[in-house]
């Protein structure tokens, strides 16, 4: 839970609160969940630089993830 809370706190400073107007998901929550899945899938920790990069391009990341699902 500590990692989840840390990612959520990082997302607060960059990702706007509330629902994404195109995706209809909570942007912060979706990003945190997606990064958690990446960490579990990779079976190792992401570096700070990698997380910072993912945070910088959070919207592109979510759009790509949800477009594949549709």
Segment 61-69 shows an average pLDDT of: 90
Summarize pLDDT for 9-34 with one digit per residue, the tens: 999 999 998 999 998 999 999 999 99
Helix spans in 1-70 (H)? 2-12, 27-42, 48-56, 58-69
**SS3 call for 19:** strand
The tokens for 62 are 């979510």
**SS3 call for 26:** strand
Segment 33-54 shows an average pLDDT of: 87
**What distances in angstroms separate CA 31 from CA 8, 12, 17, 55, one per listed residue?**
9, 11, 12, 8
- Up-side HSE of residue 65: CA atoms within 13 Å toward CB? 18
Confidence of residue 57 (pLDDT cuts 50, 70, 90): very high
- pLDDT of residue 66 exceeding 80, the answer is yes
């Amino acid at each position: 839970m500590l990692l989840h809370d840390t990612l959520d706190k990082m997302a607060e400073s960059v990702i706007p609160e509330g629902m994404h107007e195109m995706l209809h998901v909570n942007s912060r929550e979706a990003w945190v969940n997606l990064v958690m899945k990446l960490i579990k899938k990779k079976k190792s920790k992401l570096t700070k630089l990698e997380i910072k990069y993912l945070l910088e391009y959070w919207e592109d990341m979510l759009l790509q993830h949800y477009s594949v699902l549709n």
